[in-house]
Amino acid sequence: MSSSIYARAIFFDAVGTLFQVRGGVGQVYWEIARPYGVRTTPEAIEQAFREIFPKAPPLAFSRLQAGLLRRSEKKWWYAVVFEVFRRVGMIRNFDRYFEEVFRAFAGIRGWELYPETRAALHDLKKAGFVLGVISNFDSRILTVCTDLEIFEYLDSIQVSSREGAAKPDPQIFLKALQHHHLQPREAVHVGDSLKDDVMGAAAAGLIPIYLNRGHNPDVPEGVLSIGKLTEILSTVKPL
């Protein structure tokens, strides 16, 4: 990126952008499943998850009270994890296993920050930006961000399960803008998915930045891209 852009707010995707699964989904599922008699490999679990997860319905519920929302989120994830083990080999006491897995992904047992995340958020906050998260996630993101010690940098968190819309639906981006009384071109959205983050943000009128950690060579022409979060401040300036 050669020229600066100006914004009041910077929004981030969560998984794959600010933090990642600690060791990979297959590894975490497998480690927790060992006492339950798992007979497959982390690699097989990972492959099954990667095939099943994109086919799941959107993790989005609208206008549910807190207790019902949490139950709906849990039911959604139960269906995904159950299908993974139905494919690779069911384990005993699956319901008990699922409860343990679900708790693991509510904190640092399941997640870890990318090395530059905290420094990037600190510097962007110091520069005066409003910072927020827009993610296809559930209510556990609050404890995840707290445990990973980045909650203090965030002015807002919009997750699909609570907002009734999942990226790339423009509505979840527009709700984040409304929360801060911003116009679309006053905000940047950074994420690692061309479909969910770049196309979704652009459809809502935000300025998208593609986080291309994997050096994807097929970045569409005209899409702003960076290799790591610490590059944002050299390109985005406070409005």
Note whether 131 and 14 are same-domain residues.
Answer: yes
Shared-domain flag, residues 12 and 45:
no
How far apart (Å, rounded) are the C-alpha atoms in residues 87 and 144? 29
Residues 156 and 62 grouped into a single domain:
no
CATH number at residue 63: 1.10.150.720
Which region holds residue 229: left if phi is over 0, alpha if psi is between -120 and 50, else beta? alpha
DSSP conformation class of 194: I
Average per-residue pLDDT for the chain:
96
Domains of the chain: total:
2
pLDDT, position 233: 95
Backbone angles phi, psi at 92, to 5 degrees: -75, 155
User: 31 and 117 share a domain?
Assistant: no
Claim to verify: residue 184 and residue 131 sit in the same structural domain: yes
Helices 42-52 and 25-33: crossing angle in degrees, nearest 10, is 120
219 and 186 inside one domain: yes
Which domain, by its residues, includes 32? 23-104
Tell whether 143 and 225 lie within a shared domain.
yes
Check residue 1 and give its pLDDT.
43
Residue 13 to residue 209: CA distance in whole angstroms: 11
CB 134 within 8 A of CB 175: no
Per residue of the chain (239 residues), give pLDDT as tens.
446 899 999 999 999 999 999 999 999 999 999 999 999 999 999 999 999 999 999 999 987 777 899 999 999 999 999 999 999 999 999 999 999 999 999 999 999 999 999 999 999 999 999 999 999 999 999 999 999 999 999 999 999 999 999 999 999 999 999 999 999 999 999 999 999 999 999 999 999 999 999 888 889 999 999 999 999 999 999 98
Q: Give yes or no: residues 119 and 142 share one domain.
A: yes
233 and 139 co-located in one domain: yes
Residue 162: give its domain's CATH number.
Answer: 3.40.50.1000
pLDDT of residue 4: 81
One domain for residues 9 and 119? yes
What sign does the CA torsion over 218, 220, 238, 185 have? negative
16, 27: one domain: no
Q: Which value, in Å, is the radius of gyration of the alpha carbons in the chain?
A: 18
Q: Check residue 199 and report its DSSP letter.
A: I
One domain, residues 16 and 32: no
